[in-house]
Structure 1
């Protein structure tokens, strides 16, 4: 499977839209902290996510960053956590 690891960070100006984006991202990845998710996505799933986010946000007011970290099978993601304990995301199958 051709998956990449993506970091998705967002700044949504409206509380209702923020909640909708937060809920939508739960279907695509693991929540790291308030407005940051780590996602393992194929090209198709990444395109689906972008389409979904574009439907939810308001252009000119909201901001979403999609950061491609690289191929999921070739990188070892190193995350340091200061304060709270961080749990590493495990690879698992998702049945749709």
Structure 2
């Protein structure tokens, strides 16, 4: 199943729920800013992540946003991301050992 880059950003109004969302997100992608993760997800993985988050967030007060960047392929991600301030330095996710 092909994977795509998905930028996940969240605005959680309660610290306890924020920590739960953060811990959930750590299993799915690279933490790149305070409440932002960059993920490589298949459709099934995205559905599982959304289901896990459904049980955590308060639907009236919180928001988790998924932004599809494009397919995971040979085009380097750092060519797709531009910054103002510090440079974005991607992790080599293929060589991480958990």
Name the CA shift for 1:40/1:57 in 2 (closer, same or farther; >3 Å). Answer: same
Q: Name which of structure 1's ranges 47-56 and 72-81 shifts more when overlaid on structure 2.
A: 72-81
RMSD, aligned CA: 2.2
- What are the ranges of 5 or more consecutive residues in structure 1 without an aligned counterpart? none
Structure 1 residue 85, shift from structure 2 partner: 4.7
Name the CA shift for 1:59/1:34 in 2 (closer, same or farther; >3 Å). Answer: same
Match of 2:27 in 1: 27
Structure 1 residue 29, shift from structure 2 partner: 0.1
Structure 1 residue 75, shift from structure 2 partner: 4.7
TM value normalised by structure 1 = 0.85
Aligned length: 96
- What are the ranges of 5 or more consecutive residues in structure 2 without an aligned counterpart? none
2:67 equivalent to 1:92: no
